[in-house]
Structure formats: C-alpha cells, structure tokens
Chain A
Amino acid sequence: MKNTNELPVIIVGGGIGGMTTALALAKKQIESIVLEQAPYFRETGAGILLCPNVFKVFDYLQITKEMSAIASFPDHLIYADGITGFEFLKIPMGKEIVKRFNHPYGSFHREELLKALIHECQKTPLIQLVTSAKVVAIEEKGERVLAKTEEAKCYEGAALVGADGLWSLVRNYIVGNEMPNQSGHITHRGVVEKDRLPKGLFSNNVIHWDRPDAHLVQYPIGTKGLYNIVAVYHTKKPFDPENCAGDPEELRERFAGSRPEILELVSMVDTTRRWMLYDREPIKEWSKGRMTLLGDSAHPTLPHLTQGAGMAIEDAVVLAECISRHKKDYVAAFIAYQEARHLRTAHVQIFSRYYGEVHHLDGVARELRNQVIAKRTLEDNYDWLGMMYKGINLDKENDRA
C-alpha cells in the first residue's frame, strides 16, 4: 500500500476549474488525477470572457502565451438601453485595461480554452486525465479518500477536490444536497460566424443591451471569427426544470419593443434549447476533512460579472498554495483555502444577482440607472472594475522546477 503522501489529489470534474487545479498543483510538484464523467472533455456554452484578474493567474501559471494565442481582445465594454439605444457606459478595454491592471481582458471560445488547458496538463507527468469516469460515491477512509465511479472503479487519493460544477455530487457529501436557486432568468445562446451577422452589427466590443425584463449580450469570441449572442429574459411562466426546450414565443414577447438590431440578434439565437440561470447563497465553509470544493460547486454565480470561471481559476492557485504552505496537511490547507476565498467569491455571487436586477430595471428606476451610470467618470469605472480586476495576491517567487 502506498504511503498517503505518495497518493495523488483526486479532482472530480474536468472543466476549466478542474484543469486549472491540476496545473496549479503540478506547479507545486503535487500529483493529481482528474476524473471526468463524459467520454471526452468538453464545456457547455460558447463564449467566455476572462478579466485581467484571470490573466494574472495565467501569468503565475506561466501559460499566458498559450492562452493569449486563442483569445481575442475586445476594444470596449458597452452598456446601452435596449429600448432607446442610449449608450450609458463605454469603457476602453484594450490597451488601457492592460496599462491599468497589468493584464488584458480577453474573449475565448469555451471549447478552445478547455482544449488549451488540457494541452498544458498533458505536458506534465504529474497530471493524469481520465474520461468516462463518473464518480458516484466518495468516502474518506483514514488518511485517504476513495472515489468510486459508475463502472465500479475505485480511485484512491490523499485528498479530493470537487470541481464538478453547479450540480456537484461532491457538494452533497460536504455541504448537503440543497437545490440551487432558480434566478428566473432564462438564457438562449447563439454562435454565428461574424460574416453572417447583419450589416453593421459587428464590432470588436462587448455590448450589453439592458431593457425591462430582459437583456442581450453580444461579443466576438476567440480567433476564428465566431460571434456570441446571449439573450436573457426574466420568465413570467412557471418553470419546469425537466423541460429544456426553448419557448420562442416568450422570448419574442420579452424582447418586444427592443431596438431593431437587438431583434435581429434575438432572431439568431438557438430557440430549441433554453438554460435557466442558477446560483446559490454564499457559504463560508465548503471543506470537510480531506475533501473540498472548487469553482461552481462551492460558489455558483449568475454570469453578470463574467467572473464564474475567474473565481474557479483563482480558487485553483490559492488551493495549491495552501496545500503547499501546509505541507500537505490537507485538513488545515482546505480550511485556510476556504477562509482565503469565501468573501471574494461571495462578492461575485452577491453583486451578480444585484447586477442581474439592474439590467432588467423598468420605469423610473431604469431611467435613474441610465443617468447615474452615464455620469460616472472613466476613473470611477476603472475603480469599480478594479474591485475584481486587480486580482488576488500571488507569491512572486516562481518555482523553478
């Protein structure tokens, strides 16, 4: 039998969070095994925006070059009223953001981002990637953790990290099996080649259109000429979680009266599939013994700050840092890790909910939003972004393996 310290860390879930965790651990010379339930690694959703705080972590992991190669870098972040077209916020996001926060703001195709992370994982012998490994039970036994898969394989690790997303199985073991919170926000997505966009609708910007009960986000993704459209509305109908089919009628209804360019974009989203946006109440403890959570499994958020993946990526390096600092005393390391992370991740959860409501304001409150935000100076806006964009403190000393 292997000594506990020679066992790898088991990472449940091969998404962006799981892969980054494996890379962060490898940087600390800690072995890991990533168990992915699907027969191949994949991400749902199309576009993903990563803020400077995420690139700061990439820098620390020395993978910025590889990540930048597949990113596009939007020029502006724009918020406009979806009825009147009034542009109430326009923040330069290109060179100015790099100057301000030392790192860029980039847009990716989720699949490509995951592929690039996998590629990095494959470079090191410290990481083992396993697909078709759906974990159905976990157990802490003495100084090790066991993970059993559907096909009755049993993996043994020194510790276990549940990076298994919103519907996390690992969370059931640590926190309990409470259902996530339905936001009432229904999302429809569309990915189109930018050349297929109607004339005049392409720009190298991230544009949010806010209107009562709905909003739409549009931006170019990655480097291959794809363009992302996300239409979100607050449903007024009872929601059946079993039914994933879109309701084109309600989508049309909620967006009725929008600017013509928005209506054109709405007509391009995939109406066959809808996504309810979920989150959870923030918690401060998501570890138990040698098991912990990471990313969405610990602190799922609504997407309105575009920091869901960012928080998972930051979690990963803080977790590895804590394990290393506590010399593989996983119990102490996991407590230190959640202590370091819970407020920042709660910030994203709480403010995302709040911004979701702000997007959908109506009446006088909507007018007030437009006017108050329009009055903000560029400095005000960078200060506001800075709360997240400045990122976490990372030790400067790069291990030279």
Chain B
Amino acid sequence: MTERKPTPILIVGGGIGGMTAALALAKKKISSIVLEQAAQFREAGAGIQFCPNTFKVLDYLQIAAAFKEIAIFPEQLCYVDGLTGNELLSLPLGKEIAKKFHHPFGSFHREEVLRCFVKECRKSPYITLVTSAKVKDIEERGELVFAKTEDGTLYSGEALIGCDGIWSVVRQRVLGNHMPRNSGQIIYRGVVQRSQMPQGLNLDNIVHYVRPSAHLVYYPIGNNGYFNISAIFQSDRFPDEHEHIGKPDELFHWFQDSHPKVLEILERVDTSIMRALCDLQPVSEWSKGRITLLGDAAHATLPYLTSGAGMAVEDAVVLAEKIATYQGDYVTAFQAYQKERYIRTAYVQLFSRAYGDVHHSSGIKRELRNLLLSRRTVEENYSWISYLYNGIELS
C-alpha cells in the first residue's frame, strides 16, 4: 500500500499574498498549489514599499536577505505642502527606523519583488506554481474543495485561499455581494530614471506633496536608479473601475496652482493611463467552511499607509500558523485566523481613508493640518506609526 500523498491547499492568485501564503505553509511543511490566471506571474503598478512589520514577516520566513538585495532604503519620509513647498513633517527612515523597529523600511520595484517570491517558492518542494489557470468555479464537497479553471482543469485541495485581489472571484463565494467602494480618487503613475528627475529634489527620500484635492508622491524604487511618481486627486466624479484611458486635462486641472516643483514632477507621469482607487468596507468575517480570503481579497485598502502588501504577508503567516495549530480542522483554523486579523486590517483600511482626506484638505483644515503636523516631534511620529511598524507577534 502506498502512503497517501497529503492533499495540498489551493491558493487562488499568484501575487504577493498568494506567494507568501505558499511560503508560510511550506514552512509548516504543508503543500500548496498556486493558481495564477495570467500566463506569467506579474504585478500591476511600479513601486511598492515594505514597512518594518513586513520585513519582520520576511525575516520569520527566512527570506529577508533576498529582498534586502533588491531593495533601496529611503532616508526620510517627508510631507510637504504642495502649494507653498513648505515641509510639514520629516520622519527619519534609513538606519533610525531599523533601529527603532528592528527591521528596515524598504522600497522596491513590484516586478522584482514578485520575481523574488517566485524564486523562493520554486526552491520549496511543498509549492507548485501554475500559470494560465484562471479559476472560474469553486465548489466545496465533503472534505475537499475543487477549483475549476477556464481551460477545464479541475484542481482539488483540502482548503482554498482566495488571494485574488480586490476584484476577487473567491470573495463572491464567501461574502456574496461585498463589492469594492469607489473612493472617487484617481491615480496616474510614472516610472522614470534618476537622471530624468527634476533638479533640486532630494532623491534619497520619499516625498509627499499634499494640496487641496490632490497629492503627489515620488520615491526611489529598487536599486537600479528608478523612481516612482504617483499623482492622485479626489475627483468630483466616480469613474467606472474599468475606465483606464487617461484624461490629462482632468489631471492638470486638479493640480493647477501647485508649487512649481510639483508641476515639474507632474510632467513626468504617464498621462495615458489612469485608475480609480477602490477599497473595501471592513468586515470581521471572510471565511466560509474550507474557503477563506487573504490580502486585498479580504480587506483591500487605499494606499496611504503603504500597508496593503504588508497586511497580506502578515495574513499569510497567521493563516499558516492557525492551519498548523488546528491540524486539518480548516473551519476552526479559518475562524481563528480572521479573528486575529480583522482589527489590524480594518485599522489600515479606515486610517488610510482618513489620511487620504487629510492629504487633500483645503482652507482652514489645511492650515490646521500644517500647524499640527509641523508641531509634532520625531518621537511622536514614531509613536504614531508604531502600532503598524512594530508588527505582529511571531513565534
């Protein structure tokens, strides 16, 4: 009689969340199959920032070194008034943040991050990566979950984790009609080489220019000399999620009267493509039987705390921990997992919304914001982000 090969866990979505879930399960010697709809693993967007709490998880998974190699470590996080050019706040990152929170703050090219994850996954005998596997049907039957892809292949697993992002198909199965909320905020991006950045900017920093109804951020990504520029405005319309064709006039309208420096940077964004920023309303439950969600699929957030990916990787290790603890009782494991995660992820969702509003405030609110931010000490600022940056407890 041959030994029965343990059934793997199915992971729908091969992004940062899905890969980390596979790695976290592998650490517990649990097999998984990652099903990615695209023909190759890729990430949308250019830059991504990992806060110290994210590195804490990577460290726990013993893959931090690989990521540090492809990261750049910005010196400071700065907020500048986008009309006057006055600096409102500057928080030391670099060595100081690593000392304060035991892990660094790094910035990456998204593609490189994903490539690094793929490489780590391929090293593990517990992980199977499958591309061109677009899941269109999910069924829980007895002690198994089945996922059927568009090309008719049927995968089965002991459980299924939906890591398929904000427009998650798996979420439909779990939460029904819990749809993303359109924030009315529209983002344009640009990726430029160091030599193409305007003169006179401090290129070692992450700089946010905040102004009424709009803000612009630039930061270095990875160690190949590229920069990410994001220009975001609060529009007075709610474009459809599928609308992607840029409207340069609209973009420049919302940034008019900005400080010359801001306008100079703004010239470098790609005006041909836009995207509406959406998020989810926080919920406390996102599992059903042997199916659960992870990352954006469960708790998509606006990007203003740069913690979307961080929450997904934290989810992954907590989930693996619970699965290992409850040894095959997935229902209980998933309940325990969401219970441990939902407050922290709701924090990111709700405070990101609030910070977006603060970024875009105008009139007296803007004056008050500038006054209150400029009064804060570095210690107060560290204390303000410590809930996130201290990270979760890992055994």
Partners in one complex: yes
Q: Scoring A residues 197 to 217 as 1 if CB is less than 8 Å from chain B, else 0, what string do you get? A: 000000000000000000000
User: Shortest beta-carbon distance, A343 to chain B, in Å?
Assistant: 6
User: Shortest beta-carbon distance, B219 to chain A, in Å?
Assistant: 28
Q: Scoring A residues 339 to 351 as 1 if CB is less than 8 Å from chain B, else 0, what string do you get? A: 0001100110010
Q: Scoring B residues 356 to 394 as 1 if CB is less than 8 Å from chain A, else 0, what string do you get? A: 000000011101100110000000100100010000000
Please, which residues of chain B bring their CB within 8 A of the CB of A365?
A: 282, 346, 350
Interface residue A125 (Cβ < 8 Å from any Cβ of B) = no
Selected contact of B364 from candidates A342, A372, A375, CB within 8 Å: A342
Q: Scoring A residues 347 to 366 as 1 if CB is less than 8 Å from chain B, else 0, what string do you get? A: 10010000000000001110
Interface residue A284 (Cβ < 8 Å from any Cβ of B) = yes
- A-B contacts, CB under 8 A, total: 46
Please, which residues of chain A bring their CB within 8 A of the CB of B60?
A: none
Interface residue B342 (Cβ < 8 Å from any Cβ of A) = yes
Selected contact of A364 from candidates B346, B364, B365, CB within 8 Å: B346
Please, which residues of chain B bring their CB within 8 A of the CB of A387?
A: 372
Task: Identify whether the interface residues of B are mostly helix, strand, loop, or mixed.
Answer: helix
Please, which residues of chain B bring their CB within 8 A of the CB of A368?
A: 282, 343, 346-347, 350
Interface residue A137 (Cβ < 8 Å from any Cβ of B) = no
Counting chain A residues whose Cβ lies within 8 A of the other chain, the interface size class is: 10 to 19
Please, which residues of chain A bring their CB within 8 A of the CB of B363?
A: 282
**Docked CA distance A372–B380 (Å):** 16
Residue tally, chain B, CB below 8 Å to A: 18
Please, which residues of chain A bring their CB within 8 A of the CB of B347?
A: 368, 372
Known: A372-B347, A372-B387, A375-B387. A367 touches B368 (CB 8 A): no
User: Shortest beta-carbon distance, B354 to chain A, in Å?
Assistant: 9
Interface residue B66 (Cβ < 8 Å from any Cβ of A) = no
Selected contact of A350 from candidates B343, B368, B387, CB within 8 Å: B368
**Docked CA distance A347–B283 (Å):** 31
**Docked CA distance A350–B42 (Å):** 43
Verify A364–B283 contact, CB threshold 8 A. yes
User: Shortest beta-carbon distance, A275 to chain B, in Å?
Assistant: 26
The 9 closest A-B pairs by CB, nearest first: A364-B282, A282-B364, A346-B364, A364-B346, A368-B346, A364-B284, A346-B368, A343-B368, A371-B343
List, sorted by A's number, 18 A–B pairs whose CB atoms are closer than 8 Å: A282-B363, A282-B365, A283-B364, A342-B364, A346-B364, A350-B365, A363-B282, A363-B284, A364-B283, A364-B342, A364-B343, A365-B282, A368-B343, A368-B346, A368-B350, A372-B347, A372-B387, A387-B372
Given known contacts A282-B363, A368-B282, A387-B372, what 18 new A-B pairs fall within 8 Å (CB)? A283-B364, A343-B367, A343-B371, A346-B364, A346-B368, A364-B342, A364-B343, A364-B346, A365-B282, A365-B350, A367-B284, A368-B346, A368-B347, A368-B350, A371-B343, A372-B347, A375-B387, A380-B383
